[in-house]
Chains A and B, each alone.
Chain A
Amino acid sequence: MPALIQHPGFSELELRCVEEKLVCRESQVSMLLSIFGEPQQYSYPSVFIYGHAATGKSFVTQTLLREHQLPHALLNCVECSTSRLLFEHILNQLCAHSPSPDNEFSSHTRCDSFNDFIRLYRQLADLQQQKSTTYIVLDRAEALRDMDANLLSGFLRLQELVGGNVTVIFLSEIVWDKFRLNTGCFEPLIICFPDYSKAELQQILSLDHHPDYSADLYASYINILLGVFYSVCRDLKELRHLAALNFTKFCEPLVKGEAKESDTHRLWRNIEPHLKKAMQTVYLREISRSQWEEMQRKEGELHLKGLSAHAHVELPYYSKFLLIAAYLASFNPARADKRFFLKHHGKIKKTNFLKKHEKTSNHLLGPKPFPLDRLLAIFYSIVDSRVAPTANIFSQISSLVVLQLLALVGHDDQLNSPKYKCAVSFDFIRAIAR
């Protein structure tokens, strides 16, 4: 491969090493290196890198700074949620102090405010006599917007405040337009890390192929995987997870001896329904990785229940009817009740209601609140047998509220006529109604 990255400040060996690790990111790396310049030169005070998740922002920055041995501090703003944590982490990393049992897990110095931070930083810089640029990397920078107001503005102009050679790099998924402050701030250099194209994703995913099998086989597997998942998700992390989970199933025919490596059609037929199932379960994190692997090991179709599966909830007989009545009350307008419930006694065909629901826009706007009396009226009309209004029924209503299948609308102390709202969807009701 021809040498794509050239830079005067760093050795050839380091550059090649970096190039090997950072696949498909050559132009971004060369741009970053050209902005950094030689280690002792000044660099732009703040740089803002944005891009989708798993486009390599943190990885590229980290690798660059580590391989070229530039003094740096890496932070995650979600982890360091207060200013004190932020400052102390930076100072710890810059003077290579790590909390350990020896120093009782304490930081290098206590630092509460931005003022102290600047003062301590200056002292540290004087002590270390650092000639090259120091880099402070703030990952998940969107969390800074919710912290103290002076943090974001201060970090953007840290070079000016400290008076030394320091550059702050912000990494985020959110675009810079959403970070701007009302009275303005120092505008950073904005760099975009574009998403990977399908070919690049194929290239990167093929890098972690299993040593037992050939690279071509893995490449065809990745091709099939991308064919199923590419239009839904382009996140590299998710795709790698799915690839790792399903590879054993893919290789099953090979292991059993039913097909050869070149028998792509056979392999595809084997794996495709499996991947479709994965989209509904593992992709949505409905079941865990270990559950999925167990399911794969056992032969035959095992219907594993996801987290939000409806059969998890076991309701008593009358509660089911109460819930169905609540759904009908929420989604039907009150004036239609008479039409539905007086003509048809007892046996109500649920299919009629299906058709009527489709037309009303109530279905789109969400459930409407209804008073308790209406709920009971509908309930009595749909239950086959005669039911006495005992306290049993009312307590079932309260337990439905506790299970969050019904929602209480209005004040808690409205004991006269409490209003409720149905909090479950149509699919749930249909599952219960069986």
Chain B
Amino acid sequence: MSKRKSKETCLTHGECISQTQTMLRERFCHQKIPGKPFGVESQHKHLLELLKRTAVHGESNSVLIVGPRGAGKTMLLNCVLNELLEVKHVQENVLQVQLNGLLQTDDRIALKEITRQLHLENVVGDKVFGSFAENLAFLLEALKKGDRSSSRPVLFILDEFDLFAHHKNQTLLYNLFDVSQSAQTPVAVIGLTCRLDVLELLEKRVKSRFSHRQIHLLSSFRFKQYLEIFKMQLSLPEDFTDRRFAEEWNQNIKSLCEDRSVEDVLQKHFCSSKDFRSLHMLLMLALSRVTVSHPAIKPTDLLEASRLCTMDSKANILHGLSVLELCLIIAMKHLNDIYDGEPFNFQMVYNEFQKFIQRKSHSVHNFEKPVVIKAFEHLHQLELIKPMEGPSVRTQKEYQLVKLLLDNSQIMDALQKYPQCPTDVKQWAASAFG
């Protein structure tokens, strides 16, 4: 199963593959990108400058990093923080508090989390504070160093910043920005959010204390740079244990980039979404096919990965329906065509179905009404049809109005792929009037 390599390296082929997988998976799944993220040099410089001013010079600051999902906001911030912490003075002094809007759903929880991350639980003890501001002031006071002259700089990182704006009175935001404006302690408030209109969410008093400094990450690179990123993400670094294997691998990646079909796949992905995260998903799917027997990524792997990413889920669900349920969907399609998309009820659908059975069908058996109702309810359970209003006792089940959540083209496509579809059903679907 494993081939013995030359004597200089003590790694077998299998172990090389395993190590490659480990390293690349860390990159794609756990976002451990080596070096700077591509294409964001100016933003990187800006943010680093800002944080240096707080950490080294003691100046308070606030900034918002804004960008769509997967644009690389957290990646950028982590990169900048790593670079910052390389300075010894900074590493010893600066404190970090990481808050997340998904976790701290309340200002009270947020305050407890801040206390915990600053390791001040013992200092606070059982004290009861009158207001949020008092509590925060006490915490920051407690951070002052022994000689009471200067305080340690604190970096507050607020992930999902827009969710904090939905808290009651926005107390946490108000107090943090307040502290960053007054000269008490050097504090940097960094918010990360995906909403471009985040400033509209802030109250007037909070907005006025914010410095209005925003860093936008809008993935504004072109296709050529996208290809570069693709190559860089897949390449093994220089310090990989087996140099020969790494060189072979990188050579293979380079030839992949020049392949026509791979370029088409990447072009398709680039046109639908440019962000890093969808690229990582594609690369992860391609990487998962690499094994000892299949030691390099081929263009077919990428094609297969692309196909998996862009599959139509509803078509797959339609593929698994029984013939009776499919007939009901076609009956609904006809109703939609005749009545221009107005909602219908089960009785109308059953009527259409009966017309088909009596006039045109040879292969579909005439089922009893309760059996047809059960099929209709199955469609409702799969959320292919949606009731116009909630379940009510007033109207009977058969007369409640529903809407079909499928498009005509989806239905016709599904019929093409349906296994062993009876021909009279197909003809009924294609005919203009039921």
> In the complex the two chains form, what is the Cα distance from A430 to B350 in whole Å?
19
Residue ID in chain A nearest B289 by CB atoms: A34
Is B25 located at the chain interface by the 8 A CB criterion? yes
Q: A284 near B: Cβ within 8 Å?
A: yes
B317 at the interface (CB under 8 A from A): yes
* A184 and chain B: residue at smallest CB distance: B69
Complex Cα distance A191/B285, Å?
11
The distance in angstroms between the C-alpha atoms of A230 and B321, with both chains bound, is: 10
How big is the A interface, by class? 35 or more
- Is B105 touching A114 in the complex (CB atoms < 8 A)? yes
Given A160-B31, A183-B162, A184-B69, A115-B281 contact (CB < 8 Å): no
In the A-B complex, the 10 residue pairs with the smallest Cβ-Cβ separation, listed nearest first, are A195-B320, A366-B399, A175-B313, A231-B323, A34-B288, A184-B69, A42-B29, A115-B103, A52-B320, A42-B25
Taking CB atoms and an 8 Å cut-off, the chain B residues in 343-396 that contact chain A are 345, 347-348, 351, 364-365, 367-371, 374-375, 381-383, 393-396
Quick one: which of B392-407 are within 8 Å of A by CB? 393-396, 398-399
Task: Please give, as numbers and ranges, the residues of chain B lying within 8 Å of A230 by CB-CB distance.
Answer: 322-323
A423 to B396, Cβ gap below 8 A? yes
Q: What chain B residues lie within 8 Å of A115 (beta carbons)?
A: 103-105, 109, 113
Is B37 an interface residue when CB atoms closer than 8 A count as contact? no
B320 and A194 contacting across the interface, CB-CB below 8 Å: yes
Q: How far is the CB of B426 from chain A (nearest CB, A)?
A: 15
Asked if B322 and A150 sit within 8 Å, CB to CB, the answer is no
Is B396 a contact of A52 with CB atoms below 8 Å? no
Any A CB within 8 A of the CB of B22:
yes
Within the complex, the shortest CB–CB distance from A239 to chain B, in Å, comes to 11
Say yes or no: A38 contacts B382, CB within 8 Å.
no
**Which of A161, A190, A197 is B102 in contact with, Cβ under 8 Å?**
A161
Q: Are A279 and B396 in contact (CB under 8 A)?
A: no
Q: Establish whether residues B25 and A175, one from each chain, have CB atoms under 8 Å apart when the complex forms.
A: no
Could you tell me the dominant secondary structure of chain B's interface residues? Answer: helix
Among candidates B29, B109, B368, B399, residue contacting A45 with C-beta atoms closer than 8 Å: B29
Q: Is B89 an interface residue (CB 8 A)?
A: no
List B contacts of A191 (CB < 8 A): 308
Contact, CB under 8 Å: A366 / B396: yes
**B288 contacts A232, C-beta separation under 8 Å:** no
The A contact surface, by secondary structure, is loop
Interface residues of B in 95-132 (CB under 8 A from A): 100-105, 109, 113, 116
* CB neighbours of B284 from chain A (8 A): 35, 44, 189
Distance (whole angstroms) from the CB of A79 to the closest CB of chain B: 18
Taking the complex as formed, is B26 at the interface, i.e. its CB lies under 8 A from any CB of chain A? Answer: yes
Known: A37-B21, A183-B195, A197-B419. A175 touches B314 (CB 8 A): yes
B347 touches A280 (CB 8 A): no
Distance (whole angstroms) from the CB of B69 to the closest CB of chain A: 4
Among A6, A38, A175, the one with the most B-chain Cβ atoms within 10 Å of its Cβ is A175
Interface residue from A154, A159, A176, A365 paired with B313 (Cβ < 8 Å):
A176
Inter-chain contact A283/B371, CB cutoff 8 Å: yes
Q: Does B291 contact A (CB under 8 A)?
A: yes
Find out whether the CB atom of B374 lies under 8 angstroms from the CB atom of A8: no
User: Would you call B167 an interface residue if the criterion is a C-beta within 8 Å of the partner chain's C-beta atoms?
Assistant: no
Query: Please, which residues of chain A bring their CB within 8 A of the CB of B17?
Result: 8
List, in ascending order, chain A residues with CB within 8 A of B420's CB: 198
Residue B7 lies at the interface, judged by CB distance under 8 Å to chain A: no
A159 to B28, CA, bound (A): 12
Q: With A192-B316, A194-B320 in contact, is A363–B347 under 8 Å at CB?
A: yes
User: Which A residue sits closest to B27, measured CB to CB?
Assistant: A42
Residue in contact with A189 in the complex, picked from B18, B163, B281, B320, CB distance below 8 Å: B281
Whole-angstrom distance between the alpha carbons of A44 and B370 in the complex? 45
Q: Contact at B291–A8, with CB atoms within 8 Å?
A: yes
Shortest beta-carbon distance, B258 to chain A, in Å? 26
Cα A175 to Cα B195 in complex, Å, equals 26
In the assembled complex, the Cα of A198 lies from the Cα of B145 at a distance in Å of 75
Neighbouring B residues of A187 by C-beta, 8 Å: 277-278, 281
Q: With A232-B367, A280-B370 given, is the CB distance from A192 to B313 under 8 Å?
A: yes
Bound CA span A187–B278, Å? 8
Subset of 27 A-B contacts with CB under 8 Å? A6-B291, A31-B288, A35-B284, A35-B288, A37-B25, A42-B30, A44-B284, A52-B320, A115-B104, A157-B102, A160-B74, A173-B382, A175-B314, A175-B317, A183-B162, A187-B281, A198-B420, A230-B323, A232-B371, A286-B370, A363-B347, A364-B345, A364-B348, A364-B351, A365-B345, A425-B396, A427-B369
